[in-house]
C-alpha cells in the first residue's frame, strides 16, 4: 500500500545534498538509527484510529498534542510530570523573541504547550515524535519519508500560489483551493504521525519490549539545541 501512495516522491533516505550544512548534519543521527517504528505512518490510522481522528481535527488538535507531549515526557522519564518540558523540547533554536527554555515553561508548562500547539502545530507534532525517535533510536521508514515530503511540497506550493495571487487576481480561486488542500494534507499527516507515536508507546510498554537506550534526556542536547531538524522531516504549517 505504501508504494502506491505519493509515488512521485522519493522514499529514499536523505541524500548528501539534503544533509549539507548545520541543519542537515544534526539530522544525520536519525538516518543512522537502526530501529524502526512498530507501524508506519500510513498504517497507524488503522491501529489508532481514534487518536488519528482527534489529532487531525482542528478543534481537538491542541488538546491532543498537550496530552501527547505529557504522555511522551512521562514515557521516557516516568514520574517527571512536566518538569522536562520546554518549547519544542529544544529541537528548535532561539529566534527573535522565541527562546526555548526561557518562555516561562517551568511556571506554566500546560499554557506554553497549548500555545506551542496553536502557534507551531507542525513543530509541536514533530518535536513529540523526535523524543520517541531519540529514546528508541528509531529512523523514519520509506513510507514516512514519502508522506512528509509530499506534505512539505504541497505547503510550499500553497505559499507560492498565495504570493502569486497578490499579483494576478485570476489566481485567487486557485490559491484558495490549494490552501484548503494543503490544510487537509497537513492535518492528515499530523493525525497519522500522532497515531504512530501513540502506538509506539503502547507497543514499547508491552512486557516483552524494553528500551534500547540506557540513558536519555527529554530535552534535545548537543547540536540539536542550536539547529532545527531538517525541514523534510518536519511537517510544515
Tens-place pLDDT, residues 52-88: 999 999 999 999 999 999 999 999 999 999 999 998 8
What residue ranges do the domains of the chain occupy?
Answer: 19-233
Could you give the CA distance from residue 146 to residue 233 in angstroms, rounded to a whole number?
10
pTM, entire model: 0.77
Tens-place pLDDT, residues 20-62: 554 455 566 777 788 999 998 888 999 999 999 999 999 999 9
Could you give the CA distance from residue 177 to residue 107 in angstroms, rounded to a whole number?
42
Tens-place pLDDT, residues 86-102: 988 888 777 777 777 77
- Dihedral, 129, 135, 136, 140 alpha carbons, nearest 10: 30
Strand-pair partners of 20: none
Amino acid at each position: 500500500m505504501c508504494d502506491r501512495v505519493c509515488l512521485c516522491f522519493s522514499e529514499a533516505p536523505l541524500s548528501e545534498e539534503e544533509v549539507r550544512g548545520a541543519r542537515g548534519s544534526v539530522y544525520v543521527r536519525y538516518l543512522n538509527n537502526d530501529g524502526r517504528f512498530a507501524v508506519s505512518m500510513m498504517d497507524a490510522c488503522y491501529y489508532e484510529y481514534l487518536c488519528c481522528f482527534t489529532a487531525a481535527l482542528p478543534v481537538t488538535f491542541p488538546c491532543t498534542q498537550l496530552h501527547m507531549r505529557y504522555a511522551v515526557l512521562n514515557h521516557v522519564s516516568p514520574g517527571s510530570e512536566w518538569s522536562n518540558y520546554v518549547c519544542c523540547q529544544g529541537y528548535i533554536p532561539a529566534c527573535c523573541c522565541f527562546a526555548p527554555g526561557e518562555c516561562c515553561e517551568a511556571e506554566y508548562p500546560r499554557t506554553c504547550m497549548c500555545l506551542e500547539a496553536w502557534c507551531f502545530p507542525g513543530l509541536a507534532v514533530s518535536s513529540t515524535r523526535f523524543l520517541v525517535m531519540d529514546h528508541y533510536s528509531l529512523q523514519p521508514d520509506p513510507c514516512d519519508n514519502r508522506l512528509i515530503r509530499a506534505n512539505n511540497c504541497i505547503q510550499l506550493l500553497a505559499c507560492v500560489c498565495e504570493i502569486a495571487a497578490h499579483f494576478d487576481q485570476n489566481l485567487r480561486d486557485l490559491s484558495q483551493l490549494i490552501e484548503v488542500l494543503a490544510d487537509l494534507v497537513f492535518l492528515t499527516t499530523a493525525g497519522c504521525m500522532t497515531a504512530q507515536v501513540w502506538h509506539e508507546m503502547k507497543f514499547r510498554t508491552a512486557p516483552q519490549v524494553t528500551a534500547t537506550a540506557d540513558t536519555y534526556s527529554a530535552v534535545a542536547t548537543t547540536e540539536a539545541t542550536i539547529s532545527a531538524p531538517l525541514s523534510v522531516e518536519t511537517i510544515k504549517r
